[in-house]
Structure 1
Amino acid sequence: MDEVNVVVAHSERATLRVGEVFLKVDADQARLDIEVETMALVPVPTPEVLWRKPPVLAIAALPGTALGRLGEPSTASPAAWAAAGAAIRQLHEAPLPPWPGRRRQGPVEFAAELDGECALLVKNGVLPADLVTRNRQVAEAALRPWTPVFTHGDLQIDHVFVDGDEVTGIIDWSEAGRGDALFDLATVTLGHEDRLDALLAGYGTDVDLDVIRAWWSLRSLLGVRWLAEHGFDPFAPGCEVDVLRSRM
């Protein structure tokens, strides 16, 4: 009998693996609705939906392995990173989804949330004030108007699967919606700045590197406290706090 492996589990959702099947349990049905609808729309490979019985979604495992893991060097080839960039470009060029997205809607909302989070990080002694202040300055470059595209919304490096130099699929679409293309590019390269050139070679267009760096700071500032409160370690080597330190 296949073992049940807990992939991720916290108060919002849990993902279990049983053999070649992943079971996603989520009390928020809107997240599962968006995930299923997005996988039917996007022009990139995604897992097969096997069945759905709220609050559970069953999807098939993808062939290949994740592009990498946060906090670990990526062993994927430059060609694999370029293929990931090309797939992300396909997504960003797709027609906009009919929903706006669950994430923040624009630079004004981001700025308000960011300022509040920075204040809490310093007040609660989570991070030194100078580290927060410097990264808040860096993050400012991301807080500009952007043309919305179809974004994944949570395109972490381990959400992209490759087999050799080919992308076999992208997973976890519950945050998909209209957003900033550079947010996706920054999320997949968070903690892997050395792979950005290869990714952009496949993406195939000029991007503002200062904005990419700004999103690294912004995403890390917003994530540190949530991660710590949900059983993750943003202070682990190569993770969010190290990303913030690299801006000093």
Structure 2
Amino acid sequence: MDEVEVVVAHSERATLRVGDVFLKVDGDQARIDVEVEAMALAPVPTPEVLWHKPHVLALAALPGTTLGRLGGPSTGAPAAWAAAGAAIRRLHDAALPPRLGRAGRSIVALAAELDDECELLVAGGVLPADLVARNRQVAEAALRPWTAAFTHGDLQIAHVFVDGGEVTGIIDWSEAGQGDALYDLATFTLGHEEHLGDVIAGYGVDVDLDVIRAWWSLRSLLVVRWLVEHGFDAFAPGCEVDLLRSRM
């Protein structure tokens, strides 16, 4: 009998694996709806949707392996990272989906959210004021007009599967929608700056690296407190707080 593996679990959602089937349980049905819709529209490999009912989505396992995880060693040859960059470019060049995604927040709304979060990080003693202030300064470069693209919205390297030099699938589309393409590139390379050149080579278009670095700081500032409150270790070596420290 197959065992039930808890892949990730917190108060908002959980992912379980039973054999070759993944079950995603989400308290917000809208996220499941977004995920199903985005996978149907995305011009890149995605998991097969086996079925979905209120609050549960069943997906088939993907072949291949991920390129690593945040805080862990990266794997894969430069060709695999370049292939991921090419797949991301195909996504960004696709027709826009109907919804705004996580990467599509307005500049005004994003700046307000960032300022509120910075204040909470310092007031709660989560991070020192000078660290927050420096990264808030770096993050400013991301707060500029952008041309909307079809974005994944949470393109961590653990969400991209490869086999050799081929992308076999991209998972976790619940934050997908219209947004800033550089947000996806920044999320994918967060904590693995050594592979940024390979990804951009596969992407095939010059991008503003200062904006990529700005998104690294901005994303990290926004998620540190959430991670801590939901049982994740943002202070682990190579993770979000280390990245923020590296900007000092």
Q: When the two structures are superposed, what TM-score results if normalisation uses the length of structure 1?
A: 0.98
What is the CA–CA distance in structure 1 between the aligned matches of 2:93 and 2:75, rounded to whole Å?
Answer: 28
Question: How far off is 1:99 after superposition?
Answer: 1.6
Alpha-carbon contact 1:104-1:110 (below 8 Å) kept: no
Who is 1:97 aligned against?
Answer: 97
Who is 1:174 aligned against?
Answer: 174
2:164 aligned partner, one-letter code: G
Question: Is 1:50 matched with 2:44?
Answer: no
1:4 aligned partner, one-letter code: V
What is the CA–CA distance in structure 1 between the aligned matches of 2:35 and 2:215, rounded to whole Å?
Answer: 24
Alpha-carbon contact 2:15-2:25 (below 8 Å) kept: yes
1:30 aligned partner, one-letter code: A
5+ residue gaps in structure 1? none
Counterparts of 1:202-217 in structure 2, within 5 Å, are: 202-217=202-217
What is the CA–CA distance in structure 2 between the aligned matches of 1:145 and 1:81, rounded to whole Å?
Answer: 28
2:5 aligned partner, one-letter code: N
Who is 1:164 aligned against?
Answer: 164
What is the CA–CA distance in structure 2 between the aligned matches of 1:224 and 1:101, rounded to whole Å?
Answer: 20
Are residues 78 and 103 of structure 1, via their aligned partners in 2, closer, same or farther at CA, if it must alter by over 3 Å? Answer: closer
Superimposed CA distance per residue, residues 27-48 of structure 1 (whole angstroms, 9 cap, x where no aligned partner): 2111001100111111000000
Superimposed CA distance per residue, residues 113-155 of structure 1 (whole angstroms, 9 cap, x where no aligned partner): 0000000101111001110000000000000010110000010
Residue 24 of structure 1 aligns to a residue in which SS?
Answer: strand
Alpha-carbon contact 1:82-1:202 (below 8 Å) kept: yes
Question: How far off is 1:104 after superposition?
Answer: 5.2
Who is 1:118 aligned against?
Answer: 118
Who is 2:65 aligned against?
Answer: 65
What is the CA–CA distance in structure 2 between the aligned matches of 1:81 and 1:103, rounded to whole Å?
Answer: 22
What is the CA–CA distance in structure 2 between the aligned matches of 1:171 and 1:146, rounded to whole Å?
Answer: 25
Residue 243 of structure 2 aligns to a residue in which SS?
Answer: helix
What is the CA–CA distance in structure 2 between the aligned matches of 1:80 and 1:101, rounded to whole Å?
Answer: 26
Q: When the two structures are superposed, what TM-score results if normalisation uses the length of structure 2?
A: 0.98
Are residues 225 and 104 of structure 1, via their aligned partners in 2, closer, same or farther at CA, if it must alter by over 3 Å? Answer: farther
Who is 1:22 aligned against?
Answer: 22
2:201 aligned partner, one-letter code: A
Counterparts of 1:215-230 in structure 2, within 5 Å, are: 215-230=215-230
Alpha-carbon contact 1:153-1:177 (below 8 Å) kept: yes
Q: Stretches of 4+ moved more than 6 A in 1? A: none
5+ residue gaps in structure 2? none
Counterparts of 1:237-248 in structure 2, within 5 Å, are: 237-248=237-248
What is the CA–CA distance in structure 2 between the aligned matches of 1:218 and 1:103, rounded to whole Å?
Answer: 12
Question: Is 1:128 matched with 2:121?
Answer: no
What is the CA–CA distance in structure 1 between the aligned matches of 2:5 and 2:54, rounded to whole Å?
Answer: 20
Are residues 176 and 4 of structure 1, via their aligned partners in 2, closer, same or farther at CA, if it must alter by over 3 Å? Answer: same
What is the CA–CA distance in structure 2 between the aligned matches of 1:166 and 1:100, rounded to whole Å?
Answer: 29
What is the CA–CA distance in structure 1 between the aligned matches of 2:125 and 2:99, rounded to whole Å?
Answer: 38
What is the CA–CA distance in structure 1 between the aligned matches of 2:98 and 2:126, rounded to whole Å?
Answer: 39
Are residues 226 and 37 of structure 1, via their aligned partners in 2, closer, same or farther at CA, if it must alter by over 3 Å? Answer: same
Are residues 206 and 220 of structure 1, via their aligned partners in 2, closer, same or farther at CA, if it must alter by over 3 Å? Answer: same
1:23 aligned partner, one-letter code: L
What is the CA–CA distance in structure 2 between the aligned matches of 1:64 and 1:228, rounded to whole Å?
Answer: 31
Among the aligned pairs, what percent are the same residue? 80
What is the CA–CA distance in structure 2 between the aligned matches of 1:106 and 1:84, rounded to whole Å?
Answer: 27
